[in-house]
Amino acid sequence: MNLLLRGKLTAFLVVIGLAACIGLDQLVAFKSYYLDNLSGTFSPQALEILSKVIDPYYLQILIYVGINIILASSLNVVNGYMGEFSVGHAAFMAVGAYAGSLVTVGLFKGVGGTFAFPIALLAGGIAAGFFGLLVAIPSFKTRGDYLAIVTLALNMIVKSVIENIPGLGGPQGYSGMARSTNLAWTFFCVVATIWCIRNLIYSRYGRSIIAVREDEIAAELVGVNTRNAKILAFVISSFFAGIAGVLFAHLIQFINPRTFSVLKSTDVLVMLYLGGAGTMGGPVLGAIVYTIALELLRFLGIWRFVVTPLLLILLMILRPTGIVGGHEIGPLIPTREKEPCFPTND
Amino acid sequence: MPMNGYYGFYHDNLTRRGRLMIQQALNALQLGSIYALIALGYSMVYGVLRLINFAHGDIFMVGSYIALYFAVKLNLGAPLTVLATMAAAAFLGVLIERIAYRPLRSAPRVSAVITALGVGIFLETFTLAVVGPQPQAFPELLPKIIYKFDGIRTSSTQLTIILLSFVLMVALDQFVQRTRTGMAMRALSWDLHLVSLMGVDIDRIVSITFALGTSLAAVAGIFVGLAYPVIDPYMGIMVGWKAFIAAVVGGIGSVRGAMAGGYILGAIEILAVANLPSTYRDMIAFAILLFILLVKPSGFFGSPVSKKV
């Protein structure tokens, strides 16, 4: 009974959230339409009020928060639940962003964004997931530090390869995408990501992924196919990174190989470990806090970039488990589950 | 000179190719010694603490800026600039270890790695905020004399870099092999806990390791400033990673391996640049890294690590 009620409540909240997001999108769209075309019909006071209603700037920050939640949560599957240290998440984001942009710009040039965008999202995710599969099969011969280096090298290679493909714009970047990413799509993708990852983690496959983290040899001894579990985690993680890439590409409408450098990957790492790896709530909280904090610290000018690494160092020394500290945020645990799920110190 | 026209052509061609090879070898030695100097720091720290010090490339960059300050603002001479920069960088390295890495020595490994990443980004952004993003010209510390020898072109700077790096590396190798401190460093890489039972002051040895590694990286920073006379706050990332590849190629944890890896990577890069478009340069370096990691993760000189139950 409790389970049924909670499920209905969650579905209700998601629908309300989606409706609110669509409403906000429409409001901003109407506002910019009025300001562009009908500004003559308004009095100056009305114009002033209208321009203050909802700033597209805030909407953009909200979308960034959403994209970062997807990135951090997907990295969490590998770094938090599987216990490996992947440092090249931006590579999968890049694959998704370029694949998605190729679909909307190359394949559906004349068709409207509303039709092509969901296909682009899916295509970006699948391309990144497939790329993750290609990478995972040889990479998982190594573990630990070496896997970190492999993923990092991968990030640099992907950036380098894109720079050397003239069809993708090379170092000049790729543009021509419509601004299809809005709050509603972002919200939808965030919910889908969290829902999928939560259900994965609390499923049989998720438990084998966690078993690999706790002790790979012991897991193998009790019959877990550790190789498949690792590859599954990696593919799922890169799939959602690809979706985040498509959202990102259709938000700023211009992608460039330099955007997906190691610095981008480090940003995602900071968000994940700021919130706390190995929990569902950690990366969500980390992405929200990090993105908003960077915006609030804008007054510091160039010094605001000094604050984040300092924050990360202090966090690792004082509270290595992140903000949530290994505790799962209540509503994100299925009712059947009582045990918290976080990395052990080994 | 041979009288036969065909033979003469052949002879001339051979020497031209020979000259080109010597020229490229000199360039490769210069680049390789810079990589090797930085790779030593990665390798030594990994050997002692089992920590990939991701901040090491940025220490190299900071060393370059410290040298710029000493040479231009304080107007110290070349030898004094090098020594003062080494001392300052060593101090920075010890400070970083004391503040950021020591509290995490018994923490999970991943915390230390993330902290190292954080320290690296901190050094980049801090330098960026202090000196600004625009690249700065590095002064010529030594009078630059160009030598032309039978078509081979080299300079006093290039020869100084190659010779001084070699001297420094031999000195370090002897230090690690011959002295008691060096013996303690080697012992630490075998077993940290056992060594402390033998009465070795671990904190002191780790500090010395960091001081040595960072001062060598700072020398590399000066060399990069001399050879490619522009420095910028982000140069540590790419050069640092290349040096890291050199350390992995040689076998991370091994001092001689890091030196060999540096020269190997330098040679491969110079060959790649000579024969391929320059945008392929980084790609080739990282492809080598991937190949080595997948085929022989312990590198050419490293000891294989077995997974214990």
Give the chain A residue nearest B298 (alpha carbons).
A146
Q: How far separated are the first and last CA of chain A, in Å rounded?
A: 40
pLDDT value at A110 more than 50 = yes
Chain A neighbors of B290, CB-CB under 8 A: 150, 153-154, 157
Residues A108-121: what's their mean pLDDT? Answer: 77
- pLDDT tier, A57 (very low <50, low <70, confident <90, very high otherwise): confident
Instruction: Find out whether A176 and A316 touch, Cβ atoms under 8 Å.
Output: no
Least confident of A99-113, B26-40, B261-275: A99-113
pLDDT value of position A29: 78
Q: Which residues, numbered 13 to 32 in chain A, qualify as contacts with chain B under a Cβ-Cβ cut-off of 8 Å?
A: none
SS3 for chain A is: CHHHHHHHHHHHHHHHHHHHHHHHHHHHHHHHHHHHHCHHHCCHHHHHHHHHHCCHHHHHHHHHHHHHHHHHHHHHHHHHHCCCCCCCHHHHHHHHHHHHHHHHHHHCCCCCHHHHHHHHHHHHHHHHHHHHHHHHHHHCCCCCHHHHHHHHHHHHHHHHHHHCCHHHCHHHCEECCCCCCCHHHHHHHHHHHHHHHHHHHCCHHHHHHHHHHHCHHHHHHCCCCHHHHHHHHHHHHHHHHHHHHHHHHHHHCEECHHHHCHHHHHHHHHHHHHHCCCCCHHHHHHHHHHHHHHHHHHHHHHHHHHHHHHHHHHHHHHCCCCCCCCCCCHHHCCCCCCCCCCCCCC
Task: Give the pairing of strands B146-149 and B152-155.
Answer: antiparallel
- List B155's β-bridge partners, or say none: B146
pLDDT value of position A42: 67
Domain chopping of chain B, boundaries:
6-10+20-295
Query: Closest partner residue to B108 among A266, A317, A346, by Cβ?
Result: A346
Q: Is A141 on the interface with B (CB under 8 A)?
A: yes
Which two tokens mark A25? Answer: 């999108």
pLDDT value of position A14: 86
Least confident of A327-331, B23-27, B304-308: B304-308
Q: Is A164 on the interface with B (CB under 8 A)?
A: yes
Contact B293 A269 (CB under 8 A): no
- Please report the ipTM that was assigned to this predicted complex: 0.79
Residues A309-336: what's their mean pLDDT? Answer: 77
- pLDDT tier, A1 (very low <50, low <70, confident <90, very high otherwise): very low
pLDDT value of position B63: 94
Residues A300-309: what's their mean pLDDT? Answer: 81
The closest of A263, A262, A266, A75 to A154, measured between CA atoms, is A262
Chain A neighbors of B118, CB-CB under 8 A: 270, 309-310, 312-313, 316
Of the two residues A22 and B172, the one the predictor is more confident about is B172
- pLDDT tier, A75 (very low <50, low <70, confident <90, very high otherwise): very high
Distance (Å, rounded) from C-alpha A208 to C-alpha A318?
31
**Which of the listed ranges A275-284, B206-215, B237-246 does the model predict with the highest average pLDDT?**
B206-215
Instruction: Find out whether A321 and A342 touch, Cβ atoms under 8 Å.
Output: yes
Chain A neighbors of B106, CB-CB under 8 A: none
Which residue bears the tokens 């002051």?
B201
Chain B neighbors of A149, CB-CB under 8 A: 52, 244, 248, 289, 293
Show the DSSP H helices in B97-152 as ranges.
109-131
The closest of A324, A328, A329, A284 to A69, measured between CA atoms, is A284
Please name the amino acid found at residue A14.
V
Q: What is the pLDDT of residues A207-228, one digit of tens each?
A: 999 999 888 889 989 988 888 9
Please report, for residues A171, A316, B23, the alpha-carbon distance to residue A160 in angstroms, rounded to integers and kept in the order given: 9, 32, 28
pLDDT value at B3 more than 60 = no
Residues A226-249: what's their mean pLDDT? Answer: 94
Please report, for residues A266, B76, B79, B224, the alpha-carbon distance to residue B70 in angstroms, rounded to integers and kept in the order given: 32, 6, 11, 16
The closest of B244, B254, B309 to B52, measured between CA atoms, is B244
pLDDT value of position A346: 47
Q: What is the pLDDT of residues A254-294, one digit of tens each?
A: 899 988 988 888 889 889 988 888 888 899 999 999 999 88
Question: What φ, ψ does residue B277 adopt, rounded to 5°?
Answer: -60, 145
Contact A320 B108 (CB under 8 A): yes
pLDDT value of position B5: 43
pLDDT value at B160 more than 50 = yes
Distance (Å, rounded) from C-alpha B201 to C-alpha A163?
49
- List B231's β-bridge partners, or say none: B136
Contact A154 B290 (CB under 8 A): yes
Q: What is the pLDDT of residues B54-113, one digit of tens each?
A: 899 999 999 999 999 998 888 888 889 999 999 999 999 999 999 999 988 888 777 888
**Dihedral over Cα of A200, A203, A205, A206: its sign:** positive
- pLDDT tier, B262 (very low <50, low <70, confident <90, very high otherwise): very high
Question: What φ, ψ does residue A174 adopt, rounded to 5°?
Answer: -125, 135
Distance (Å, rounded) from C-alpha A8 to C-alpha A57?
33
pLDDT value of position B309: 46
Percent of chain B whose pLDDT exceeds 70? 93
Which two tokens mark B46? Answer: 């990994």
Interface test with A, best of B95, B109, B283 (most A CBs within 10 A): B283
pTM, 2 dp: 0.84
Second CATH level (architecture) for the domain B6-10+20-295: Orthogonal Bundle (1.10)
B275-B277-B279-B283 Cα dihedral, nearest 10 degrees: -40
Contact B287 A305 (CB under 8 A): no
Q: What is the pLDDT of residues A176-212, one digit of tens each?
A: 888 888 888 999 999 999 999 998 998 889 999 999 9
Percentages (nearest 5) of helix, strand, coil residues in chain B: 75, 5, 20
Q: Strand, helix or coil at B3? A: coil
